[in-house]
Structure 1
Amino acid sequence: MYISNNDIKLPAPDTIVWKYLDLSKFLDMLLCKQMFMSRSDKFEDQYEGTFSEPTFEELKKISANNPEFLDNYKSHRKNVVISSWHINEYESYAMWQIFTKNNEGLAIQSTIKRLQDAMGPENRYDQHIGEVEYIDYKKEYIPFDNNFFPFLFKRKSFQYEREVRVISDLTQNNISIHEGLKVNVDINKLIEKIYIHPKSENWYKNLVIQLMQQLGFDFEIEKSDLESDILI
């Protein structure tokens, strides 16, 4: 279920968030009624879940006589799973390019409130939502008095992502996580609108509409207008 945490920076409830994904992953979400969360150390960015240099120097001093202290932080990454969402009032051309492999991708539009409501009490994993802060890892400090903080900071090079994250720490669940795991979500609460890839053909939009009808969903579906005809 969703658990609030006053130490974590959280955008306003009506903040619009997006997830860009391929049709196959989207259909898997609908059919399973589950959202995939990736293991934190499986992200492309090798700095995921690590600390900035000033924080690391402090941790080394603390762990000088207790090596297990630092080892626990290193192993902790394997037990944390993340679902990433993009904060933006409008759809993003860059996100289409990065997260959809072909012209048959789509984007889910939701809000912070919808994310919170979609993770109901039937979910057996505690989940936290937080906005990522982008800092200079050579100069700036990452606090470590909260186990989620290392996963809510990234290098400034990634500022374009404007990321908000759903995070679960599964250390106490004693389960083996490979690439990640799926968590139960209320699909109808999660999704506000679906946008079709700007470069897709009309038949693709019709296919998505037909699939939604057959699966019993009535989401509002729009074709992205990023590739609409110019007026001159």
Structure 2
Amino acid sequence: MYIENDQILLPEDPDTIVWKYLDLSKFLDLVLSRKLFMSRSDKFEDQYEGTFSEPSFEEVKKIAEKNPTFLDYYKKHRKNVVISSWHINEYESFAMWQIFTQNSEGLAIQSTVGRIKEALKLETHYKQYIGEVNYIDYKKEHTPFENNFFPFLFKRKSFQYEREIRIISDLSRQKITINEGLKINVDINLLIEKIYIHPRSENWYKNLVIELIKRLDLDITIEKSDLESDILI
């Protein structure tokens, strides 16, 4: 279920376009299981994930002097928070294709903020929150920590190109073991508005994706990448 939270900000327009770039294996896992994988936050490559900027960490250390369990809580908390990342952009991103897909066998899912909210209503066991990531200078600026989700909604300016929104779940109260992550129920036909096939993919791969969507009886539009051109000089 998707829960509103006044402290977590999102683009006001529900029609804001968002993207998720996947290799074929991850896309197959999504459409065959009809579940969205959310990665454990401490498994991300960014070592600062779920931590604090330098000025905020100084404040945290002062609190921890009087309350030693305070810092331990945040360290453990990272293992109980799972995240699904999406990229805000009106258009396809060449950079995102390069970073998140291997070879030329990948897909891009196009959705909107509003569609994601609706698609998440199918999940009734875990609460999800959606927020836009803020990019700040971790040497000078503060990351707030009065809300448990804030450490996961701030990143260093080096990552601004990601233009990220995140679906976040805090599973601290759930008595489950989270290894790499967790799969949650989603309405696939609502979540995925369109699929864009990798601009450098061959015809056999395009036909494979088309046949897959047909066999799974999914109501999803398949688009040719805008980065692929029929014009040869």
TM-score (norm 2): 0.97
Partner of residue 6, structure 1? 6
How far apart, in 1, do the equivalents of 2:223 and 2:14 lie? 23
Counterpart of 2:158?
157
What residue ranges of structure 1 are gaps of 5+ in the alignment? none
> SS at the partner of 2:60?
helix
TM-score, L = length of structure 1: 0.97
Does the 8 Å CA contact 2:53/2:142 hold for their aligned counterparts? Answer: yes
- Report the secondary structure of 1:139's partner residue: coil
**Segments of 4+ moved more than 6 angstroms:** none
For residue 42 of structure 2, what is the aligned residue in structure 1? 41
Secondary structure in 1 matching 2:95: helix
Partners of 1:16 and 1:89 within 8 A in 2: yes
Shift of 1:57: 0.7
Paired letter, 1:166: I
CA distance in 1, matches of 2:180, 2:18: 24
Describe the superposition over 1:201-231 as per-residue Cα deviations: whole angstroms up to 9, x where unpaired. 1221111111111111131101213131447
**Is this contact kept in 1: 2:130–2:165, CA < 8 A?**
yes
Partner of 1:146: 147
One-letter code of the match for 1:6?
D
Q: How does 1:3-152 map to 2 (within 5 A)?
A: 3-11=3-11, 12-152=13-153
Whole-angstrom distance in 2 between the partners of 1:121 and 1:181: 15
**Unmatched runs of 5 consecutive residues or more in structure 2:** none
CA-atom RMSD, angstroms? Answer: 1.1
Match of 2:214 in 1: 213
CA distance in 1 between partners of 2:21 and 2:105 (Å):
11
Q: Secondary structure at the match of 2:124?
A: coil
Distance 1:6 1:24, change over 3 A: same
- Inter-partner Cα distance in structure 2 for 1:121 and 1:195: 25
Is the CA contact (8 Å cut-off) linking 1:123 and 1:185 kept in structure 2? no
SS at match of 1:166: strand
The answer as to 2:193 corresponding to 1:192 is yes
SS at match of 2:121: coil
Equivalenced residues, count: 232
